[in-house]
Homo-oligomer: A and B are copies of this chain.
């Protein structure tokens, strides 16, 4: 599942508040992004067609639910971003991103813990991506 920029906006909204009706999406994105209702309807339609959303009929309208997992899409997008920009070499990418990120002390600590746990586990096996 490959999502375009605009599709990510729609999907992020739906992942956060599914199941959702078209009117809600239109309302949210209309005010947040200045999208016309026609535009939102097109996006929803395309996302259903490409299998990213499913619909349950509720009376005469639909309820939209994500048909793909956010984490899967994130993984794919990350992979593709790393490949494109860093030739798939994760380390320089991470260094760059961390260097330029604005992180709270709390988030820094989370990252530290994560690094520790990776150190431990990598002494036996490696992981992916």
**Chain B's nearest CB lies how many Å from the CB of A91?**
4
Contact across chains for A110 and B85 when beta carbons are under 8 A apart: no
CB-CB nearest in chain B for A101:
B90
- Once bound together, how far apart are the Cα atoms of A126 and B115, in whole Å? 23
Residues of chain B contacted by A98 (CB below 8 angstroms): 94, 111, 114-115, 118
The number of chain A residues with a CB under 8 A from chain B is: 45
Residue from the list B87, B101, B103, B115 in contact with A12, Cβ < 8 A: B87
Interface string of A99-129 (1 = CB under 8 A from B): 1111111011011101100110010001111
Q: In the complex, A7→B110 CA distance in Å? A: 36
Find chain B residues with CB under 8 A from A81 CB: 77, 81, 85
